[in-house]
Amino acid sequence: MSGISSEQTVRRKKIEVLHPSSMNVIVVGVILGKSEIRGLASRKKFGTERFTFGFVLRDSPSYFIFVECWGTEDYIRNLADNFKIGDAVQVENPLVRTKDMESDERYKPCTPSPYKLVISENHSAVELYTGSDIKQLFPLQHLPTKESHDFYTLSDIMVNGQNLNNEVINILAVIRMVSVPKAFVTKDNRQGSRCEVTLFDDTTAAFSLILWDKEMITLAQSWAARETVIFAADVRVSFDRFRQTMVATAISRTIITTNPNTHEAQVLFTYAKDYYSSATAEDELLMKSNQEDLLSIKDICTIEQLKEKQTSLQTSEPQLPMCAITFAFLTSFNIDDDSRKVTTLRCSQCNTTVDQDIGVCSNQNCNSALLNEGNVVTMFDLRVDFSDHTGTLKGCWVSHLSAEKMLGCTVEEFTCMTDSQKTEIKWKLLLERCKVYVKMNLSMLNNTVVRVKVLSCELADPEEMLKCLL
């Protein structure tokens, strides 16, 4: 670790004054982004490799610069292990080089400086900084590298769809969930990791951001669900044909600012805390999310085994959602009882549950609530029980879309039915053996409660059931 001596104070230069003739200088700043290590074939020594990684250094709100580090594998790995994103470092005796406007602008983070710093094993040094002004540096990591208003909302991305395919854009969003990183091995025997982050904002409940870089995945592990806001600069958005939806991917140019100190981020943070503290928050998120791919669910369980999975979710780490198929009888399906137990009113603007006696949105952040307008829609909101020879799974939630498929009618058609018509639909499924796809995950509002969501429920094919259970 290092501070700045009186001699070094003279050598310390701000990023904005650096130029190729700058020699024997010291640059101090906070790390905004950092890439993982790569090995490249050496041009000078045939059959050997040179190793490299880079990071973005900032010393003022307006100026930041890319730093390239080169050397042997041992040197580069030791150097990279010494600091992480968010640390303050002191860079001593770097070479100041003019950026290659073709490759540097295309493959490295965009910086306002026309130059880059090059760290060599024999002549340069990078150390953690401990100087007296270190507290002035840390706030710089919370300033986005692009204009604070220069971003797409998640609904903008979804609406534009394939018109934005392969475009590089900026995103401001809140963390909904960070999945556990998955390791893989490439064809050339290199190890890698993939981490999927689910985002939301005031327009869209769930949107995927894919991380491939080890350093970025490490950063993501510090993000807290519904509490961390990120400004992701220069992510690539594309249409995922498998999911049939748009997704974002962090690339080599991407810099992610955690909890940006901007008005836009503060507004979004307030929205996330106020709006998603409602009792129906998780239901709203789940309803607006894309339907899970049922074909990918292969695990077949009895009710007893599903209950065991519920228990393991409450006690295990990491607490990932679990999906499964069960062949069980529908034993509670009271759709011909009080209609208020089957449907719910929601605000058409923000999706908050609306009191059926009042008919006006209670979400203070919603325009409908501010204008005292009754813009509400009726949606299904079912709770059902399933049983087999091993037990009963109570209170399974059936979302609006799943309920429409299960009942074979829209909510508008259902509300116009007589009680006898509803009873007729009820007895088509009640006490019948069904093939049920379920998803279990911890409630976002109470991490001791496991929610069971019905993804699909239909009458079981006896032949298929026998094949699966034998």
pLDDT band at 145 (very low <50, low <70, confident <90, very high): very high
- Per-residue pLDDT band at 115 (split at 50, 70, 90): very high
What mean pLDDT comes out for the span 393-419?
A: 89
Domains of the chain: 6-141 (2.40.50.140), 154-275 (2.40.50.140), 281-342+381-469 (2.40.50.140)
* Average pLDDT for the chain: 85
Q: Is it the case that residue 7 has pLDDT exceeding 80?
A: no
pLDDT more than 70, % of the chain: 85
Burial of 103 (0-12, 13-18, 19+ CB in 10 A): exposed
Q: What's the whole-number mean pLDDT along residues 264-283?
A: 70
Mode of pairing for the β-strands spanning 382-388 and 391-398? antiparallel
Q: Quick one: average pLDDT of 196-210?
A: 88
Min mean pLDDT across 190-194, 229-233, 346-350 is at: 346-350
Cα separation, 182 vs 195, in Å, equals: 6
Decide: helix, strand or coil at residue 103.
helix
Answer whether residue 289 shows pLDDT above 80. Answer: no
Task: Dump pLDDT digits (tens) for 146-193.
Answer: 999 999 999 889 888 778 899 999 999 999 888 888 888 877 777 888
Residue 288 pLDDT: 44
- pTM of the full predicted structure? 0.61
Which residue did the predictor score with more confidence, 357 or 88? 88
**How confident is the model over 50-90, as pLDDT tens digits?**
899 999 999 999 999 999 999 999 999 999 999 999 999 99
Torsion of CA 364, 366, 369, 370, to 10 degrees: 80
Whether 291 has a pLDDT exceeding 60, the answer reads: no
Q: Residue 91 pLDDT more than 90?
A: yes
Given a cut of 80, is residue 45 above it in pLDDT?
no
